[in-house]
Amino acid sequence: PSHRVMCGLLGLKVAADLNEIDAMEELYLTLVPLLRNPTIPPATCLEVEMIYHSVCGDMQKAEQAADQLLRAVRDERDPRTLSRALCNIGIAYRLGGRMDDAEDVFRELLDLSLAHGLLSRISFAILGLIRVYLASGDVPRARAAMEKLEALTEADQDFHRSTVRLYFLVKLALQEG
């Protein structure tokens, strides 16, 4: 069941990115019985709950799952696993309006990613910070984060990340007038 849950978790993330609420609900209903299996790591169960409820469920449940997941991954030694959790926790906090918590998590993610050379996570962390700053109306901090992103990831040729960077460059230009 573990591989099925991990596939379902990935499906939830893709459906969330595509705003496919019906697909998320169907996946979640399929996953719930599997989450009761004792072989499924608690952090994975929390991640499923957090992602589902952040987008189309109960935001209070999403925040509770995010808080619990943050505590659960504190002892994680694999930086890739920890960084994945921090990515998702940061998003949940941002969607829940907990901008200070989201900023703290994205800063932790950035520090971890820099320390371990995780280029895609560096981009994700800084883009998360930019989203937080723009949502808070702090355009100067968003601009400073964008400049940091450009400096740290200038060799990054990933199409998706490049497109997202361009989107935020345009958004910043419009905000700055």
Q: Is residue 162's pLDDT more than 90?
A: no
Above 80 in pLDDT, residue 109?
yes
Residue 134 has pLDDT above 80, yes or no: yes
pTM score > 0.85 for this model?
Answer: yes
**Residue range 122-132: average pLDDT?**
96
Q: Is the pLDDT of residue 155 over 90?
A: no
Q: What share of the chain is helix, strand, coil (3-state, %, to 5)?
A: 80, 0, 20
Residue 57 has pLDDT above 80, yes or no: no
Show the CA angle centred on residue 70, arms to residues 65 and 74, nearest 5°: 145
Is the pLDDT at 99 greater than 80? The verdict is yes
Neighbour tally for 167: CB within 10 Å? 11
pLDDT at position 172, please? 94
pLDDT of residue 100: 97
**Burial (0-12, 13-18, 19+ Cβ within 10 Å), 68:** middle
Q: State yes or no: pLDDT of 159 exceeds 90.
A: no
Check pLDDT > 80 for residue 114: yes
Range 42-53 average pLDDT? 95
Give the mean pLDDT of the chain: 94
The crossing angle, in degrees rounded to 10, of helices 79-95 and 59-72 is: 150
Give the distance, in angstroms, between the CA of residue 123 and the centroid of all CA atoms in the same chain.
Answer: 12
pLDDT of residue 156: 76
- Identity of residue 46: L
Taking residues 22-48, report their average pLDDT: 95
Q: Are 173 and 165 in contact (CB under 8 A)?
A: no
Distance CA 66, CA 58 (A): 12
